[in-house]
Amino acid sequence: SVIPDIQVAPDGTEVNGERQVSISGMTETVEKAKTLVSKVIEDAGGATSLPATMNLLPGQEVVELMVPATKVGLIIGKGGEMIKMLQERAGCKMQMIQDGPYASAPEKPLRMTGFPENCKKARQYVLELLEQKELEARGLINVDYSQGVPSTIEMNVSKDLVGFIIGRNGEHIVLLS
């Protein structure tokens, strides 16, 4: 299944004590994520403020990315090495939620806490790692991790060309990656 993107509005954007939560992705996975979010709220006694948001610095946010349960070990890595490396590279805290209602769930939230640009980097690194492992599993690429984990490069692209690179609904990005 395609992984939905869950964004929680930053502190200070509350309206009547509530913050916006946006869930993006394919309709089926968005509905699953909405159900899981609703269950978390219900399990918390209807409270809309979750413990993860309590210790944020001004400008920080909490972003959750749903990860297939079969890929959790890949994200954490042997002895927690991979998640530690991802946290260091992205500059934000990352926590895989595996207990409570997620103990036997088919997808588990990876909670990223930090400044928006760092959470965005962390999400990108995780998606790249998942994509790379998927391509390896299909035998389409071979990656030698003995030299370290592959990194990301950033390029400046004319604003007039960005739409062509992304494509409708991101289809060119998928083909390029």
Of 61, 65, 63, 64, which is closest to residue 11 (Cα–Cα)? 61
Q: What is the pTM of this model?
A: 0.52
Helix (H, G, I), strand (E, B) or coil at 75: helix
Query: CB atoms < 10 A from the CB of 87, how many?
Result: 19
Confidence of residue 83 (pLDDT cuts 50, 70, 90): very high
The pair of three-digit structure tokens given for residue 101, joined into one six-digit string? 């209602």
18 versus 136: the higher-pLDDT residue is 136
pLDDT digits (tens, 9 = 90+) for 127-153: 999 988 888 777 776 656 555 554 444
pLDDT digits (tens, 9 = 90+) for 28-46: 776 777 777 666 666 655 5
Q: Which one-letter DSSP state was computed for residue 18?
A: B
The mean-pLDDT minimum among 24-28, 106-110, 156-160 falls in: 156-160
Q: How far apart are the first and last CA of the chain?
A: 18
163 versus 116: the higher-pLDDT residue is 116
